[in-house]
A = this chain, B = another copy of it.
């Protein structure tokens, strides 16, 4: 974070990339397995450099990706702009570091850009069509078969050649939208649509069959009318046979390949199931970059195997990062484990601990998860209270409606997922639940702009607006661990109706000091001031607000900073008294400028001018400082924006 106290600098070990021309030599050997390993090595370097990324599913998918791009599809030959090209994309999107490595090897993505994975202006953490070779935005799971079907329908309608090949995860198939799309593809006779399931048997951090069994997937897909092949997804001869068989199937029948793969394939200690056993039942390589030692071991193993076929393979030293990175970037939590803190302040961790404590007092409390137990810090609850923990898999709509049913029987469900998925995909289900007059607590994890590495599919900058017009829903965001505990207790024990708690997922950039005791609708003054009043919420933006106030203070401008955790309700008397002395009021949103705290305050201080700083446009992908600076929301930019506004006022 910008100017973060306590942030230490981590030196990335020497990183070496296989240059593009080496892939040409490998191609001449006609060894797709070798090409896949070479892509694995480069994806590993890119992820290590980025400090985050999904290696496990990149590695399970890479033999298939390489087979498709180098052998089966026409796109590398026709180019990524040709209307008759075969379109390939990954619906799960987590595996994009592998795809980036392949696109780099094919000359589509320049080396400089591969080295800017999860950096501003580089390669998004999840697929984005702004990147060359990327055909669809994904990362929000379960949409790919519908989108692919649209593309395939359009190709048929427009008389264009080429297939549309969509890679899906296996855990991803838990999303109901897939089954909508599967039924429609058969009904509409979209035979130029191919689905390839990367059946690596692991989802976020546990086996698919434990989280929510797919059962006999082949039987299910056939019941939905699809032609289904299965094969070993790392065996290129088997892949060639399967694809040939699929090509021979009648034109109007959609085709699926269930490819049995190994998560982490290619690096022995990352391979399932051994890696799962070593992790004590948790798979450590789903997300996040390996530490230096594991990186070195993994890279050596891959390069060793590559040298068996290409003994003189070149490895080019990667230029150093232009700027040192704070450790907080190392482990941007996103379905990953083992995050190293900058401070010991994690609102998410406090949330998980308090939830477990509340369970002791509240026998009616039930916790629901949609395959994000590690990130949402509810794994301890799951282990301690298994009979009160419900895992529904990657299925947010089912998650919410099941909670609605629990609540109708008098239980108090606490529903967990990422804010971007829960508030958005399950929005109608939340409305329906609320309309029954029951109470549910919605924990919106990963709320706000930061971390910005995973990209716009995961950054939640609309969730407050999505819930704000819902009757009987209080939306809060705590600023620190203690407030997280207080607000969660309030939500569980005192609130009469639904509560949505927005939670930042990363470590707090600084410890926010707050007075004890929460009064609904009232915030707290963090720093006194006289020239202007600045509202903010959540650890990320409060840090930036305080940094701005500190910078302005040094320049002689006195800004009062108020932490306002109540995002859609306010104590009117408190507010009126608070704002009265100030000629200028500013609001800093960890959200779009529309539909959150600023709009609520405008309704309340009707007739007072108010300036809102929020995430304008699409949230930027990059490191926290990059993203904050891009949106003009870092402390330094904010100080300048506020100073400008104050000066304009003085001048007028």
Q: Kindly list chain B residues whose C-beta atoms are within 8 Å of the C-beta of A612.
A: 603
The answer to whether B176 touches A180, judged by C-beta atoms less than 8 angstroms apart, is: yes
Whether A573 sits at the interface, judged by CB under 8 Å, is no
CA distance A470 to B154 in the complex (A): 26
Interface members, chain A 35-57 (any B CB < 8 Å): none
Besides A150-B408, A175-B180, A181-B398, 13 other CB < 8 A contacts?
A129-B437, A140-B432, A143-B397, A143-B432, A153-B402, A183-B393, A184-B393, A188-B390, A223-B223, A427-B427, A432-B457, A468-B595, A607-B608
The answer to whether A147 touches B225, judged by C-beta atoms less than 8 angstroms apart, is: no
Closest residue to A610 on the B side, CB-wise? B606
CA distance A465 to B222 in the complex (A): 41
Whether A282 sits at the interface, judged by CB under 8 Å, is no
The answer to whether A421 touches B410, judged by C-beta atoms less than 8 angstroms apart, is: no
Contact pick for A151, options B408, B427, B591, CB 8 Å: B408
The answer to whether B184 touches A392, judged by C-beta atoms less than 8 angstroms apart, is: yes
Closest residue to A461 on the B side, CB-wise? B469
Residue with the greatest number of chain B CB neighbours at <10 A, chosen from A180, A431, A432, A470: A180
The answer to whether B143 touches A594, judged by C-beta atoms less than 8 angstroms apart, is: no
Q: Kindly list chain B residues whose C-beta atoms are within 8 Å of the C-beta of A140.
A: 428-429, 431-432
The answer to whether B177 touches A401, judged by C-beta atoms less than 8 angstroms apart, is: yes
Q: Kindly list chain B residues whose C-beta atoms are within 8 Å of the C-beta of A606.
A: 602, 609-610
CA distance A608 to B605 in the complex (A): 10
The answer to whether B223 touches A216, judged by C-beta atoms less than 8 angstroms apart, is: yes
If the complex has contacts A408-B147, A410-B154, A435-B456, are A468 and B470 also in contact, measured as CB distance less than 8 A?
no
Question: What is the copy number of this chain in the assembly?
Answer: 2
Interface members, chain A 312-342 (any B CB < 8 Å): none
Contact pick for A465, options B180, B437, B468, CB 8 Å: B468
Q: Chain B's nearest CB lies how many Å from the CB of A185?
A: 10
Contact pick for A427, options B224, B405, B466, B568, CB 8 Å: B466
Interface members, chain A 145-177 (any B CB < 8 Å): 146-155, 157-158, 160, 164, 174-177
Whether A22 sits at the interface, judged by CB under 8 Å, is no
Q: Chain B's nearest CB lies how many Å from the CB of A140?
A: 5
The answer to whether A178 touches B176, judged by C-beta atoms less than 8 angstroms apart, is: yes
Q: Kindly list chain B residues whose C-beta atoms are within 8 Å of the C-beta of A174.
A: 180, 183
CA distance A223 to B366 in the complex (A): 30
Whether A479 sits at the interface, judged by CB under 8 Å, is no
Per-residue contact bits, chain A 534-564, to B (CB 8 Å; 1 contact, 0 not) = 0000000000000000000000000000000
Closest residue to A188 on the B side, CB-wise? B390
Closest residue to A400 on the B side, CB-wise? B146
Q: Chain B's nearest CB lies how many Å from the CB of A146?
A: 3
Contact pick for A594, options B155, B212, B468, CB 8 Å: B468
CA distance A224 to B595 in the complex (A): 41
Residue with the greatest number of chain B CB neighbours at <10 A, chosen from A177, A411, A436: A177
CA distance A428 to B175 in the complex (A): 13
CA distance A596 to B603 in the complex (A): 12
CA distance A130 to B390 in the complex (A): 28
Whether A490 sits at the interface, judged by CB under 8 Å, is no
Q: Kindly list chain B residues whose C-beta atoms are within 8 Å of the C-beta of A152.
A: 405
Whether A137 sits at the interface, judged by CB under 8 Å, is yes
Interface members, chain A 381-417 (any B CB < 8 Å): 387-388, 390, 392-393, 395, 397-398, 400-411, 413
The answer to whether A146 touches B405, judged by C-beta atoms less than 8 angstroms apart, is: yes
Q: Chain B's nearest CB lies how many Å from the CB of A546?
A: 25
Q: List 14 A-B contacts (CB under 8 A).
A: A129-B437, A135-B408, A136-B408, A147-B401, A147-B405, A150-B409, A157-B387, A177-B395, A183-B215, A184-B402, A187-B212, A215-B224, A420-B428, A594-B599
Interface members, chain A 454-476 (any B CB < 8 Å): 456-457, 461-462, 465-466, 468-471
The answer to whether B435 touches A431, judged by C-beta atoms less than 8 angstroms apart, is: no
The answer to whether B594 touches A469, judged by C-beta atoms less than 8 angstroms apart, is: yes
Q: Chain B's nearest CB lies how many Å from the CB of A100?
A: 18
CA distance A397 to B144 in the complex (A): 11
Whether A186 sits at the interface, judged by CB under 8 Å, is yes
The answer to whether B401 touches A150, judged by C-beta atoms less than 8 angstroms apart, is: yes
CA distance A456 to B472 in the complex (A): 14
Closest residue to A393 on the B side, CB-wise? B184
Q: Kindly list chain B residues whose C-beta atoms are within 8 Å of the C-beta of A160.
A: 409
CA distance A427 to B609 in the complex (A): 32
CA distance A499 to B56 in the complex (A): 39
The answer to whether B607 touches A149, judged by C-beta atoms less than 8 angstroms apart, is: no
The answer to whether B395 touches A180, judged by C-beta atoms less than 8 angstroms apart, is: yes
Contact pick for A436, options B129, B178, B413, CB 8 Å: B129
The answer to whether A155 touches B595, judged by C-beta atoms less than 8 angstroms apart, is: no
The answer to whether A401 touches B146, judged by C-beta atoms less than 8 angstroms apart, is: yes
Q: Kindly list chain B residues whose C-beta atoms are within 8 Å of the C-beta of A595.
A: 465, 468-469, 595, 599
